[in-house]
């Protein structure tokens, strides 16, 4: 990946941080973005990445960031939120926030970067979905809907761009050991009266996982899909 320019959204922690570190180890020229400056500064300092704060749901912010970066070879749409609540307590504001962050952001970045990739006849797009994008689950109607939508977006874009030198793939992790997963478990626990540990156990049982995945496992798959010798497109890889 030496000299390849990679942009990772949500790159300040969790899966995005793990991908940033793995890409950096392979020599990629990194740009990371999120809405949390403190996290970005820490990862940038440790990986040599360039960074900028960006609200990934806002077209003006995305456009300004892309103009600042210039041509991008690899785009990882990782930014996401995992709000959870019983459906009867899920309001429209929550629904829109989840959909905008998890799906619209990927649309905006692809909209801004795909034309340049087409012109150069090269691009790698990796969208971080979730096993919830295939199976769904209780208390995550908005989240699961957004991840289903991201898979539909990914497969359709892959088909459209299959002869342009651009590969589009998605990764569908199960439950990963991140602050987001633990915060999500805490919210469900509060709503149900169970403990966070009980909720994590239920999460794992629902997808047949013995334990939480390490973010580095997702990063390895992202690396494989982002390499120049990758030939897969339209995949939605379960982890």
Write out the residue range of the structural domain in which residue 17 sits. 5-177+214-238
**pLDDT recorded at residue 86:** 85
Token pair for 41: 């500064």
**Is 101 part of any domain?**
yes
Strand partners, 53: 34
pTM (predicted TM-score): 0.92
Q: What is the pLDDT along the chain (239 residues), one digit of tens a residue?
A: 888 999 999 999 999 999 999 999 999 999 999 999 999 999 999 999 999 999 999 999 999 999 999 999 999 999 999 888 889 999 999 999 999 999 999 999 999 999 999 999 999 999 999 999 998 888 889 999 999 999 999 999 999 999 999 999 999 998 888 888 888 788 778 878 888 888 888 878 877 888 888 999 999 999 999 999 999 999 999 99
Token pair for 236: 């939605």
Q: What is the CATH number of the domain that holds 74?
A: 3.40.50.720
230 near 124, Cβ under 8 Å?
Answer: yes
**pLDDT recorded at residue 227:** 97
As for how many domains the chain has, the answer is: 1
Residue (of 47, 51, 10, 42) closest to 25 by Cα position? 47
Residue 172 and residue 133: Cα distance in Å, rounded? 7
**Is 209 part of any domain?**
no
Tell me the longest C-alpha to C-alpha distance in the chain.
Answer: 54
**Is 188 part of any domain?**
no
**pLDDT recorded at residue 1:** 87
221 near 156, Cβ under 8 Å?
Answer: no
**Is 23 part of any domain?**
yes
139 catalytic, yes or no? no
**Is 190 part of any domain?**
no
**Is 84 part of any domain?**
yes
**pLDDT recorded at residue 235:** 97
**Is 231 part of any domain?**
yes
Token pair for 22: 């793995």
């Amino acid at each position: 990946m030496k000299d390849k320019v990679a942009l990772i959204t949500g790159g300040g922690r969790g899966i995005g941080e793990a991908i940033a570190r793995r890409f950096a180890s392979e020599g990629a020229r990194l740009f990371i973005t999120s809405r949390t400056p403190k996290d970005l500064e820490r990862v940038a300092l440790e990986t040599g990445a360039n960074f900028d704060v960006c609200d990934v749901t806002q077209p003006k912010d995305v456009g300004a960031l892309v103009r600042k970066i210039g041509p991008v070879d690899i785009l990882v749409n990782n930014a996401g939120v995992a709000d959870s609540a019983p459906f009867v307590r899920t309001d429209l504001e929550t629904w829109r926030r989840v959909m905008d962050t998890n799906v619209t952001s990927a649309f905006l970045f692809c909209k801004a970067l795909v034309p340049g990739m087409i012109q150069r006849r090269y691009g790698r797009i990796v969208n971080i979905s979730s096993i919830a994008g295939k199976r769904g689950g209780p208390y995550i109607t908005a989240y699961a809907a957004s991840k289903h939508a991201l898979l539909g977006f990914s497969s359709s874009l892959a088909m459209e761009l299959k002869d342009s030198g651009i590969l589009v793939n998605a990764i569908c992790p199960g439950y990963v050991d991140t602050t987001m997963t633990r915060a999500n478990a805490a919210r469900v626990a509060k709503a149900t009266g169970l403990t966070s540990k009980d909720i994590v156990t239920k999460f794992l049982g629902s997808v047949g996982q013995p334990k939480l995945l390490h973010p580095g496992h997702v990063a390895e798959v992202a690396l494989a899909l982002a390499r120049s010798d990758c030939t897969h497109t339209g995949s939605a890889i379960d982890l």
